[in-house]
Structure 1
Amino acid sequence: MSSNQYSNYNLRQAEWEGILIDKWEPCKWKLWKAKQSAKDEFIKLEREYLRIKYSVTQANLALSLDAVKVKLKLTNGKTIALQGTFPCKPGDIGKNNSSNRQYTISLGFAANDVGLKAAIAKARNLDLLLMTKQFQWTAELLGKQAQKLIPISVESAVKTIGELINDYREEFWKTHEKNRQGIKTWESHYLRHLKKLPQDEFLTEDALESALKNTRANSNSRFYLAWQLKKFCQFCDFNGSKIIDSYATPLPQPTLRKIPTDEEVVNGFSTVGEPLSSHASKDVTKPEQWQWLYGMLATYGLRPHELFAIDLEAFTDTNNKFHLVYLNPSLTEGTKTGERSCGIPPLYPHWIELFDLKNIKFPQAGGSLSNKTALIHIKFRNIGIGFKPYDLRHAFAIRGHRLQVPIKTMADYMGHTVQEHTKTYQRWMSEDTNLQIYQEVVIHRQGTSKEALKERIKELEAENLSLKAENESLKGILIKHRLGELLNGG
């Protein structure tokens, strides 16, 4: 047989006893044309084709057992290709606009034992790149298509988790304003959780699991870490849902706070002005300055950082008859929810004088806004006052309910939505607080209504007697009038 005949021979068209070669069971490759001479070169090619086809089937079975998603494919009698689902090639679009689609990649592996081993090694390598989200279409993988595209680097730099987080940060700033609140959101809601990942490793399921294992089950930290890892994996186009979901935990119910009563708030004013001996030398803020800050938090329900956004000139203006507080977001590079749509009034105006708030005693300590805000939290903790700065804000919200201020109005005063107001602040209303509101609003109103009703009944009874007397008088006049008509007519 000439070499030309050998190279042009299409063994996949071979047939024996009415059975095409591709319909034959590859495991029975030795039985192919068993009755014919094995010296026939074509028969040798056909049996070798079946043997390699069987070997490919066995190799794919082994790859499946190892969870390798890239498989081998005997494209013809001469080469072994790789088949799997890969990110779309440049210019391609997946089914239903998916970013992935199935490709058969031909790298010229010969259909023999050496080519088989090389193809298996390449399949495992590509699967690892896909799993770690490091797969890139190189000129080798694109083949002839690479010549039609802009040159692609042979290997893109493999990025660690730390480098991916930096990319994530850049993406974050595309949709967020780079102000104080934006920075706080990134640090508190994003970076705080992502820092738990091993920064110098590649993004893998093991890396995700190492971070999740270090958080307590059924905790806030576990819930928010899982939530953020899902967003991060989505950005990195890494499928980590399975491992994240296995550690997922429902959002725990918050621990109930003990909101200070009005009496406790007033007593706290004196406590916050007492320096601790062990901290006195370090505390540069004077006692009267701490008291002024405390009084403003208690009277106006401010967030601690909003103390530094108060328009002091407008607050002390003589025309400010209702003692409204206005916030200037530019002083703190933005407040949490933007600028208030209205001034904030004191729900207890007499606290203005009680806490001497119009006599401004604003601390002049330097440092960043975050540091100055943190000092307030530290001060409350160190003096053992029994509640936190934010608890004064919760007390302000509950006070508004007791005074029957409409929920929408209270939400405006506090700078958030009605939904946030009802979800967050009504949750802290204890049984005693609810009972107090009931007594003040319902019982008092009911008592007032009873007294008013009694007075109204008395008025109606007197009016009824007056009408009866007037009715009798009219009857007498009518009788006299009719008698006069009868006498005249007679």
Structure 2
Amino acid sequence: MTNYTYDLRNAEWDGTPIDHWEPSKWKQWKSKHSASDADVKIEREYLRIKHAVQQANAALSLDRVKIKLKLTSAKTIGLQGTFPCRPGDVGKNGSPSKQYTISCGFYANDVGVKTAIVKARELDLLLITKQFQWTPELLGKQAQKIALIDDETPKKIISELIQEYEREFWKNHEKNRQGISTWETHYLRHLKKLPQDVPMSLEALEIALEKTNPNTSSRFFLVWQLKKFCDFCDINGLKIINAYATPKPHPSFRKVPLDEEVIQGFSKIGMPLSAYTSKEKFTQPEQWQWVYGMLATYGLRPHELFAIDIPAFLDSANSFHLITLNPSLTDGTKTGERSCGVPPLYPHWVELFDLKNVKLPHNAGTLSNKTAKLHIRFRNTDIGFRPYDLRHAYAIRGHRLKVPIKTMADYMGHSVQEHTKTYQRWMNEEANLEIYREVVIHRQGTTKEALKARISELEAENIALKAENATIKGLLVQHQLGELLS
């Protein structure tokens, strides 16, 4: 039995796609499958019905019937013709009529063809006698979705539509921390720009789009989300959305701190701020510094701080100071558990930052709120970079230390492709120059020293061989003289 995802319209034989094949020659269709293959039978049946539709349309034309049959898919037949505009629709140049393809649920088989012919003649008669009306049967799914069909039905406001949209979202997403973050960050964040207490309209779309600036990531992702939301609401807003569309902007420049700057930031993150006050215990300097040190030493994502297995980290048997993550503490991490413990690339930083003296914040609030406070602290102390920049610095540090890319990707909890695409592109000129000094110049210097030592060894060996050769020559001369005297 053929797979339900099989699309027979992609079939071809001898370089000819199936939709370019003459339907009347359907018996000659072979495709690239064997004659007994079920897919070939389906392809031939598709061509046979397509030929039957052509014959039916030719007969309708002879009878001057203006409604025609159309094979709308491999399994369905629709009716195509010019009808009065649907409620809320307008024809070209303001015309009261427009061409539509109506789906009446006719299957693509012999019975479906015959039934479609009868319906085509019926609709044509209604048009001729000016008795045609758009019924729920002809409107199909739009009968339930387009509010303009029934003016007495109150329109749902945007906030209600967003709630329905969210329910649809959870049908295909797991409701865990990652799923909630996806909904709030990639969906709700953009939909909140729409006015919430009015029905969905083109004006509402424009209000949301005007809240973003051109050529920004905010505008780009808002456009992307509004297209999906309009499709869900069955609202045709493509024209106005595309008018505000902007290409995806290039990533902004990221400041990746050098090791010296990381060490300086450790002191700075714990400094008291007169302009920044909070009742949260999370604002204690020692807690800020411990969190900062863990991010810098292990290259963690900010939210992963709260997934650290503290007992395992403090275990006396953990001589390499590895950390492991327990996703259950945060209802899942971004990419699940790492396949290995995460090591400090600079083991001496564990002592420098006093990381074994754990001061993990235990403030209340959601995980998003906890990580948000960390971002705010970085900004208010004017360190010069963001929490995630310490993760990028960790990646570059591994490259300088010549840790294999696959190993670094495992340490950081992502794929090799993600590692090379996202992290190494942030290497600025200074970081690249530092890597060049450490990897190339250092290696070259080591090679020169080795060559000099080898040359000295060879020279000494050459002198020894020359001395040995002179000794052998002397013995040979003495031997020859002895033979002459005898």
Query: Alpha carbons of 1:22 and 1:187: their partners in 2 closer, same or farther (altered >3 Å)?
Result: closer
Query: Alpha carbons of 1:401 and 1:22: their partners in 2 closer, same or farther (altered >3 Å)?
Result: closer
Query: Which is further off, 364-373 or 302-311?
Result: 364-373
Q: Alpha-carbon deviations, 1:244-300, whole Å to 9, x = none?
A: 333221111122122222222212222222222344452422221121111111111
Q: For 1:89, which of 75, 100, 104 is the aligned residue? A: 104
Q: For 1:360, which of 358, 361, 369 is the aligned residue? A: 358
Determine the C-alpha separation between the residues in 1 that align with 2:214 and 2:314. 51
Give the counterpart letter for 2:104 in structure 1: K
Is contact 2:295–2:302 with CA below 8 Å preserved after alignment? yes
Query: Alpha carbons of 1:137 and 1:283: their partners in 2 closer, same or farther (altered >3 Å)?
Result: closer
1:65 matched residue in structure 2: 93
1:30 matched residue in structure 2: none
Secondary structure of the equivalent of 2:193? Answer: coil
Query: Who wins on radius of gyration, i.e. which is larger?
Result: 1
Is contact 1:136–1:156 with CA below 8 Å preserved after alignment? no
1:227 equivalent to 2:199? Answer no
Q: For 2:382, which of 381, 384, 406 is the aligned residue? A: 384
Query: Which is further off, 294-303 or 419-428?
Result: 419-428
Q: For 1:309, which of 300, 307, 310 is the aligned residue? A: 307
1:189 is displaced (CA, Å) by 0.9
Q: Alpha-carbon deviations, 1:182-237, whole Å to 9, x = none?
A: 10011101221223334455555554444333321111011111222333344455
1:277 equivalent to 2:278? Answer no
Q: Alpha-carbon deviations, 1:2-29, whole Å to 9, x = none?
A: xxxxxxxxxxxxxxxxxx9979xxxxxx
1:444 equivalent to 2:459? Answer no
Query: Alpha carbons of 1:413 and 1:474: their partners in 2 closer, same or farther (altered >3 Å)?
Result: same
Determine the C-alpha separation between the residues in 2 that align with 1:405 and 1:67. 69
Determine the C-alpha separation between the residues in 2 that align with 1:333 and 1:109. 61
Give the counterpart letter for 1:355 in structure 2: F
1:321 equivalent to 2:337? Answer no
- % identical aligned pairs: 62
CA RMSD of aligned residues (A): 4.0
Q: For 1:461, which of 459, 462, 477 is the aligned residue? A: 459
Q: For 2:142, which of 130, 134, 141 is the aligned residue? A: 134
2:213 matched residue in structure 1: 216
Determine the C-alpha separation between the residues in 2 that align with 1:163 and 1:341. 43
1:150 matched residue in structure 2: none
TM-score normalised over the length of structure 1: 0.69
In the TM superposition, 1:31-430 aligns within 5 A as 63-66=91-94, 70=98, 84-86=100-102, 88-90=103-105, 92=107, 106=123, 115=130, 119=132, 122=133, 134-136=142-144, 161-200=158-197, 203=200, 205-236=202-233, 240-285=237-282, 286-430=284-428
In the TM superposition, 1:462-481 aligns within 5 A as 462-473=460-471
Secondary structure of the equivalent of 2:281? Answer: coil
Determine the C-alpha separation between the residues in 1 that align with 2:296 and 2:378. 13
Query: Alpha carbons of 1:239 and 1:419: their partners in 2 closer, same or farther (altered >3 Å)?
Result: farther
Determine the C-alpha separation between the residues in 2 that align with 1:431 and 1:59. 62
Determine the C-alpha separation between the residues in 2 that align with 1:179 and 1:459. 67
Query: Which is further off, 416-425 or 225-234?
Result: 225-234
Query: Alpha carbons of 1:389 and 1:69: their partners in 2 closer, same or farther (altered >3 Å)?
Result: farther
Secondary structure of the equivalent of 1:249? Answer: coil
Determine the C-alpha separation between the residues in 2 that align with 1:369 and 1:176. 19
1:331 is displaced (CA, Å) by 0.3
TM-score normalised over the length of structure 2: 0.69
Query: Alpha carbons of 1:216 and 1:93: their partners in 2 closer, same or farther (altered >3 Å)?
Result: farther
1:328 is displaced (CA, Å) by 0.6
Give the number of equivalent residue pairs.
393
Is contact 1:344–1:413 with CA below 8 Å preserved after alignment? yes
Give the counterpart letter for 1:275 in structure 2: P
Is contact 1:347–1:400 with CA below 8 Å preserved after alignment? yes
Q: Alpha-carbon deviations, 1:374-403, whole Å to 9, x = none?
A: 111122222222222112212222222222
Query: Alpha carbons of 1:321 and 1:57: their partners in 2 closer, same or farther (altered >3 Å)?
Result: closer
Is contact 2:300–2:412 with CA below 8 Å preserved after alignment? yes
1:36 matched residue in structure 2: none
1:37 matched residue in structure 2: none
Give the counterpart letter for 2:390 in structure 1: L
Give the counterpart letter for 1:322 in structure 2: F
